Amino acid sequence: MKRENILSQTISTAGQSESTVYDNVCKKLLGNKVILAWIMKSCMEEYEDCSIEEITQKYIEGEPQISDTAVHQDEVLEQLKIKGLNTEDKSITEGTVVYDIRYQSTAPEAGGIIRLIINVEAQNDFYPGYPIIMRSMYYCSRMISAQYGTEFEKSEYDKIKKVYCIFICVNCPKNRKNTINRYSVHEEHLRGDFHEKKERYNLLTSVMICLGDADDPEGTGVLRLLEVLLSPDRSVENKKKILQEEFGIKMTEELEEEAKEMCNLSKGLIDRGRAEGRAEGRAEGRAEERQQAFIKTIQMITNLMASMNWSIKQAMDALGIPEGERAKYTAGLK
């Protein structure tokens, strides 16, 4: 019997909206080992000197877990021992965190091998009401604390594994497009010159990957790969050509079929969105227009501040932005 392909499995999941299905398809595509390998080589210092094939075949352990099923942490502790991972991190006092893609990987290091825990998140809304980088750092912290009882017990703090949280952001503001930023722990010598071993304190790293537009000349390497992979507008033939010719990623017959279904799903969502927009006051169209207007306003504020040497308040005064809307623009500029 032919295995039900990834997209079919996702679509057949009961109770999910079409937008949720599309989000899950994106996660499934990002969860492909060769895609993760490109992300790891481009963003993680441990893999800078490794080949894509080496990362895929040698270092990524098992199959990355995708957030299509939530599991209570307390019910799977035995299965989680040492190597197991699930995508839900539940704490009585801190609430539940469901990760998009979570997996373990080994990495070469002088004198041996180290193990890492990696989380990859797909983020469509760049302005969810808080700075995404702060959510990423919170996820890193939770991934550290969640290791108690799974990776170490009692006072075995030397067994804590380094964690990475990588956010892949689309629909970014102009000043963030085609950028990759990495945030990690560094040692400062306030007095004296003692150097602690880096692996003892550099235990969490956050990476922000902000994608650009199609055919943007600044979008190269993993930025172009991810833009092509996640684009709802590119045809399957175009994706296949770029992935094969520029990145050496072979699309199997099954993967190509899933890519076709993804494109069909994208087109169906757009068409239905237009139809429902006409029937219901074009609600989705207005939401998209508001998002574009927000980004344009941010750009105007930034330009005024730079050209006129004005404060945020002076720029917003000049643009006539209502007091009740200023907080979101201030947050967007940070």
Q: Is there a domain that residue 269 lies in?
A: no
Q: Is there a domain that residue 56 lies in?
A: yes
Q: Is there a domain that residue 52 lies in?
A: yes
Residues 227 and 317 in one domain: no
**In terms of residue numbers, what domain contains 316?**
285-333
Residue where a domain terminates, one of 231, 254, 277: 231
Residues 316 and 197 in one domain: no
pLDDT by position in tens, the chain (length 334): 344 444 344 334 334 555 566 677 778 788 889 999 999 999 999 999 999 999 999 999 988 888 743 333 443 333 333 344 667 666 555 566 678 899 999 998 877 789 999 999 998 888 888 999 999 999 999 999 999 998 999 899 999 999 999 999 988 999 999 999 999 999 999 999 999 999 999 999 999 999 998 878 889 999 999 998 888 778 888 888 999 999 998 876 656 666 666 666 655 554 554 455 555 545 556 777 788 888 888 888 888 888 778 888 888 888 888 888 888 888 887 7
pTM: 0.70
Q: Tell me what pLDDT residue 332 has.
A: 82
Spatial separation of the C-alpha atoms in residues 230 and 217, rounded to whole Å: 18
Residues 317 and 200 in one domain: no
Q: Is there a domain that residue 160 lies in?
A: yes
Residue 230, token pair as written in the block: 């996640």
Q: Is there a domain that residue 253 lies in?
A: no
Q: Is there a domain that residue 7 lies in?
A: no
Residues 171 and 295 in one domain: no
Q: Tell me what pLDDT residue 267 has.
A: 55
CA quadruple 182, 185, 189, 190: dihedral sign: positive
Residues 148 and 84 in one domain: yes
Residues 160 and 306 in one domain: no
Q: Tell me what pLDDT residue 314 has.
A: 87
Residues 299 and 204 in one domain: no
Torsion of CA 232, 4, 18, 238, to 10 degrees: 10
Residues 105 and 200 in one domain: yes
Q: Is there a domain that residue 238 lies in?
A: no
- Half-sphere exposure of 9 toward its Cβ, with a 13 Å CA cutoff? 11
Residue where a domain terminates, one of 194, 214, 231: 231
For the range 297-305, what are the long-range contacts, defined as Cβ-Cβ under 8 Å and sequence gap of 24 or more? 297/321, 297/329, 298/173, 298/329, 298/332, 298/333, 299/173, 299/174, 299/175, 301/329, 301/333, 302/175, 302/333
Residues 203 and 107 in one domain: yes
Distances (CA, A) of 95 to 72, 134, 163: 11, 17, 20
Closest CA to 267 of 293, 302, 232, 219: 232
Q: Tell me what pLDDT residue 110 has.
A: 73
Q: Is there a domain that residue 258 lies in?
A: no
Residues 90 and 192 in one domain: yes
- Overall domain count for the chain: 2
